[in-house]
Structure 1
Amino acid sequence: MAGGGVVLVTGISRDLGRRAARYIAGQPGVEKVIGVDVVPPRGDIGDVSFVRADIRTPVIAKVLAKEDVDTVVHMSVIATPGRVGGRNTMKELNVIGTMQLLAACQKSASVKHLVVKSTGTFYGASSRDPAMFTEDMQPRSVPRAGYAKDVYEVEGYVRGFARRRPDVGITLLRCANVIGAHVESPMTSYFRLPVIPTVFGFDPRLQFLHEDDLMRVLVHSVQSGAHGTFNVAGDGTLMLSQAIRRMGRVAMPMPGPAVGGLGTALKKARMADFSPEQIAYLTFGRGIDTTKMRDELGFEPDYTTAEAFAEFANSVAPAARPADRVIGGLASGLQAAGVRRG
């Protein structure tokens, strides 16, 4: 690792950020890990030093200077507005937080490496997409709202930072949907539903990254010194219909608008957090090419897409019949309404 091995990890109040900080702290050559967030993490952080700091404010620059940080791992780009108090707060954390963090890194004489956990959501999902997105490709249309827009803007700010500080190595990881027993995300909430709504007439290809492989690729990025933008996913793809069968769930095919209506109802019930980009993904799917991950980043996931999903499926309890009936009733009503609108 370059520098003195002092690593700052953002977003450690969420489980993946907390686990990443702990995992990095346990690696050889890492002298110290500082975890920052606006609230303390709920689980054990081991040898990680927690600092209460809001990356949306200039105070983050003081933390970088005081701790002589040489590596920053940015884990604070989040996809679930319900968990942070709504869409406005989510956008502030994602976009304003990233802007302030990068401004602090720009002023810092000690920071030499920036690792950013991004997502394949950057590419969007549409009927015009290539079979596989490579890292030099752009989305077919610029996202106009929601999490996808945040991701697009965040990556734009990272590119701007790279131009202003060419001496700082940047590793940007566009990860497939992270999945695992401990992951709480729109995608894992979707597959935990007792009855799973799908878009009628579509069976998209899905890719997943096991939560343990996310930890491994973050550590690898910190230690390897490989810089650039990399797609990260387990080998292979899984059709949505296959995934539903492996969950032991029942699919509920519905017209696209009805899926959106059901998503709104489930979001209000706090059972799942649907978004326009997730509905697009569940319609058209997405493939990201991981050749560069192997050849240039030098990383190989332990789990294939199918293996990662199988382990997640085994961790989920069988569907409860009362909830099955409730969601089935909601879906049937919305399906009928969607058909009438068509």
Structure 2
Amino acid sequence: MGQVVLVTGVSRYLGGRFARRLTRHPGIERVIGVDVVPPPHSIGDAEFVRADIRNPIIAKVIAQAGVDTVAHLNVIATPTSAGGRVSMKEINVIGTMQLLAACQKAPSVQRLVVKSSAAVYGSSPRDPAMFSEDMGPKSLPRSGFGKDSVEVEGYVRGFSRRRGDVQVSVLRFANIIGPGISTTMTDYFTLPVVPTMLGFDARLQFVHEEDALDALAAATVVEKGVGLVNVAGDGVITVSQAARLAGRMTVPVPMQLSGWVGQVVRRSRLADFSPEQMQQLAYGRGLDTRRMREVLGFEPAHTTMQAFQSFVDAGRGPKPVLMPRLVETARSAQGWVERQANVG
């Protein structure tokens, strides 16, 4: 018999596409997708079950279906799409706790795959050129998605100790980008004016959405768990290079004003930036992907540059909403820089 896979977060873009992709895999017999709302897109032959992973009822879904593999993709990076930061925290942290408690009680569960993020490494001026999986952050994320991801991984480690018989794989993805996915980073590069950190030109790594799906599929069907694995496309691209490729006007903003600019962008509903994301745009982040190749046995089809180019080629132009306000904010920041220079 083939695997019975439960996929969380199927109403979101990546989760829905992943569930649909698994239904075409010859080694998988049944795919069950769960979420709090029905998916707005096709999930192929996967079965949809309306269930909230924050509710203990998820244990009944796992037990009744005889699920042997759980793919947890419902860790949300954008507060706006989750209904706010409080709701996002509940889904990410409380939801993961309940899901793992259900997995712990289910003897049928033999594999756990968790979509995590390189945000667990944070971003700081003391970072190494490349983070390997055995390295910790130099500056621990203190809020937002990064902090949630750190907590989620902590709960997964606890689960792994309690259920040593379960094969566990945690994939730490670089920023996922592509022609269809919408993230804080794609929102950033579709701004009519892109704020950059004055004096910095961060190195960014991306992974193409198709490669992200393929990596998750590889971890789902592999016989042994791979533990922690970084997933990213080869090479890096700087913020200035990416902005030029996207055809965006940039304005340098001092680090002291990055929080203010982030608030204006959030309130304008143009993008959803946390302080940690603003730090990444200043200091960047690099991932060592040797374990991806040697342990997971996965080779991305796209480099970082190719992944970003696919996003640009999709023709996702700048958002017109409240564009005058953002331009005014950019001019105010530029004026502050000039006044400080004159004072100096």
* Bin of the TM-score, shorter chain as denominator length: over 0.9
- Residue of structure 1 in register with 2:232 after alignment: 233
User: After alignment, is 318-327 or 240-249 more displaced?
Assistant: 318-327
**Equivalent residue letter for 2:62:** L
- Residue of structure 2 in register with 1:94 after alignment: 92
User: After alignment, is 169-178 or 327-336 more displaced?
Assistant: 327-336
**Equivalent residue letter for 1:63:** V
Tell me the TM-score normalised to structure 1 length. 0.95
**Equivalent residue letter for 1:88:** V
User: After alignment, is 235-244 or 250-259 more displaced?
Assistant: 250-259
Deviation at 1:44, TM superposition (A): 1.1
- Residue of structure 1 in register with 2:151 after alignment: 153
Deviation at 1:260, TM superposition (A): 2.1
Q: Is 2:304 aligned against 1:299?
A: no
- Residue of structure 1 in register with 2:281 after alignment: 282
Structure 2 counterpart SS, 1:197: strand
**Equivalent residue letter for 1:231:** N
- Residue of structure 1 in register with 2:241 after alignment: 242
Superposed CA deviations along residues 49-96 of structure 1, whole A, max 9, x for unmatched, are: 000001001001000001000000000111111111111110000000
Deviation at 1:163, TM superposition (A): 0.4
In the alignment, the residues of structure 2 paired with residue 135 and residue 42 of structure 1 have an alpha-carbon distance, to the nearest angstrom, of: 35
CA contact (8 A) 1:213 1:301 kept: yes
Deviation at 1:150, TM superposition (A): 0.5
List aligned pairs for 1:1-342, cutoff 5 A: 4-227=2-225, 228-319=227-318, 325-337=324-336
CA contact (8 A) 1:258 1:338 kept: no
**Equivalent residue letter for 2:124:** S
> Structure 1: where are the runs of 5+ without partners?
none
In the alignment, the residues of structure 2 paired with residue 337 and residue 217 of structure 1 have an alpha-carbon distance, to the nearest angstrom, of: 45
CA contact (8 A) 1:37 1:51 kept: yes
Deviation at 1:334, TM superposition (A): 3.7
In the alignment, the residues of structure 1 paired with residue 266 and residue 319 of structure 2 have an alpha-carbon distance, to the nearest angstrom, of: 19
**Equivalent residue letter for 2:293:** R
In the alignment, the residues of structure 1 paired with residue 179 and residue 123 of structure 2 have an alpha-carbon distance, to the nearest angstrom, of: 26
CA contact (8 A) 1:74 1:115 kept: yes
Deviation at 1:97, TM superposition (A): 0.3
CA contact (8 A) 2:121 2:140 kept: no
Q: 1:63 to 1:197 in 2, by over 3 A?
A: same
User: After alignment, is 257-266 or 162-171 more displaced?
Assistant: 257-266
Q: 1:268 to 1:111 in 2, by over 3 A?
A: same
CA contact (8 A) 1:54 1:60 kept: yes
Stretches of 4+ moved more than 3 A in 1? 317-326, 334-342
Superposed CA deviations along residues 286-306 of structure 1, whole A, max 9, x for unmatched, are: 001001100111000000000
CA contact (8 A) 1:18 1:45 kept: yes
In the alignment, the residues of structure 2 paired with residue 307 and residue 332 of structure 1 have an alpha-carbon distance, to the nearest angstrom, of: 32
**Equivalent residue letter for 1:52:** R
**Equivalent residue letter for 1:177:** N
In the alignment, the residues of structure 2 paired with residue 81 and residue 339 of structure 1 have an alpha-carbon distance, to the nearest angstrom, of: 34
CA contact (8 A) 2:5 2:68 kept: yes
Tell me the TM-score normalised to structure 2 length. 0.95
In the alignment, the residues of structure 2 paired with residue 253 and residue 76 of structure 1 have an alpha-carbon distance, to the nearest angstrom, of: 35
**Equivalent residue letter for 1:233:** A
In the alignment, the residues of structure 1 paired with residue 339 and residue 152 of structure 2 have an alpha-carbon distance, to the nearest angstrom, of: 40
